[in-house]
């Protein structure tokens, strides 16, 4: 009976989450939520830590009212989540936890972390894993395109000042490996981090083609 009930709630929240991502870029779409949910549930099992129901709800709702896509006059994530979960009969202590995770999960709010619950640590790891590796690269260039940023700005043109997606690797993506919370997450981040390095190496190799073959003269 209890099991049945949580499944039904998850189904409802899933529908809500699907609708909520309609205006986001495709790196922040439903499939991001689906991947984060699957990664988080995988980490829960591997670490044998945290409550699966809270983790699943929090993964599905972690990007609600993301500041990058926030609509003018939004009532705010806390109210949205509270009303939604309340309507679905979720207990108050669980609602509080889901709200906290939504609030503190973001890379940029890391300094202000107030909670370190196992559920928080796992959902944050899952969200971070989806920002690195092949998927992370795809998402970064998709977001950069969405914002009309440069792909890359070479050093002499102000690399690090002008926003570029390659610049974002140094601002954020390459830092993620050392920020992981769980042992399983750290291990998975290792492989994905290596892939970022391989990608960058190949990228610079292709970018820095020498236009003339010096051995052949001009
Ligand atoms: P978080 O929600 O953890 O704070 P973000 O919302 O900043 O993370 O990032 C979500 C996704 O968007 C990530 O895949 C990230 O790499 C990408 N992204 C965010 N900012 C940029 C940027 N300036 N250039 C390219 N990709 C970006
Ligand atoms: Ni996310």
Ligand in nearest proximity to the CA of 146: 1
Q: Which residues of 155-175 are buried (b: 16+ CB within 10 A; e: fewer)?
A: eeeeeeeeebbbbbbeebbee
Q: Where are the domains of the chain?
A: 1-111, 131-209
Q: Is the CB of 136 under 6 A from ligand 1?
A: yes
How confident is the model over 83-110, as pLDDT tens digits?
Answer: 999 999 999 999 999 999 999 997 565 5
50 lines ligand 1 (CB under 6 A): no
Task: Tell the residue nearest (CA) to atom 15 of ligand 1.
Answer: 140
Neighbours of 52 (CB within 10 A): 15
Mean pLDDT of the chain: 88
**Residues 200-209, buried b or exposed e (16+ Cβ, 10 A)?**
beeeeeeeee
Q: Is 108 in the pocket of ligand 1 (CB under 6 A)?
A: yes
* Assigned CATH class of 1-111: mainly alpha
**Which ligand 1 atom lies nearest to the CA of residue 173?**
16
Q: Is 106 in the pocket of ligand 1 (CB under 6 A)?
A: yes
d(CA 62, ligand 2 centre) in Å: 6
Q: What is the pLDDT of residues 63-86, one digit of tens each?
A: 987 666 566 667 888 999 999 999
Which residue's CA is the nearest one to ligand 1's atom 7? 107
Q: Tokens for 173? A: 């993506």
Residue position matching structure tokens 């709800």? 57
Q: How many CB atoms lie within 10 A of CB 31?
A: 13
User: pLDDT confidence of 217, banded at 50, 70, 90?
Assistant: low
For residue 131, the ligand 1 atom closest to its alpha carbon is 14
CATH of domain 131-209: 1.20.58.1910
Nearest residue CA, atom 26 of ligand 1?
140
pLDDT in tens, 139-184: 999 999 999 999 998 876 655 567 899 999 999 999 999 999 999 9
> In this structure, what are the phi and psi dihedrals at residue 38, rounded to the nearest 5 degrees?
-65, -40
Does 127 sit in the ligand 1 pocket, CB within 6 Å? yes
Compute, in angstroms, the gap from residue 140 CA to the centroid of ligand 1: 6
Task: Please give the model's pTM, rounded to 2 decimal places.
Answer: 0.90
159 DSSP β-pair partners: 162
- Ligand 2 centroid vs 123 CA: distance in angstroms? 9
- Ligand 1 nearest atom to the CA of residue 25, by list position: 12
In degrees rounded to 5, what are phi and psi of residue 146? -60, -35
């Amino acid at each position: 009976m209890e099991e049945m009930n949580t499944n039904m709630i998850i189904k409802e929240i899933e529908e809500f989450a699907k609708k909520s991502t309609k205006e986001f870029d495709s790196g922040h779409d439903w499939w991001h939520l689906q991947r984060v949910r699957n990664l988080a549930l995988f980490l829960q099992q591997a670490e044998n830590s945290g409550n699966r129901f809270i983790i699943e709800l929090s993964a599905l709702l972690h990007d609600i009212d993301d500041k990058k896509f926030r609509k003018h006059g939004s009532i705010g994530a806390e109210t949205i989540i509270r009303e939604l979960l309340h309507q679905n009969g979720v207990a108050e202590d669980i609602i509080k936890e889901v709200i906290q995770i939504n609030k503190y999960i973001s890379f940029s709010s890391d300094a202000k972390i107030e909670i370190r619950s196992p559920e928080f640590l796992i959902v944050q790891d899952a969200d971070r894993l989806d920002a690195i590796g092949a998927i992370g690269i795809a998402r970064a260039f998709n977001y950069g395109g969405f914002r009309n940023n440069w792909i890359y700005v070479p050093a002499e043109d102000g690399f690090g000042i002008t926003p570029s997606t390659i610049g974002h690797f140094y601002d954020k993506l390459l830092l993620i490996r050392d920020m992981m919370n769980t042992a399983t997450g750290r291990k998975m981040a290792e492989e994905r981090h290596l892939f970022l390095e391989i990608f960058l190496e190949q990228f610079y190799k292709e970018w820095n083609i020498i236009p003339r073959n010096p051995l052949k003269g001009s």
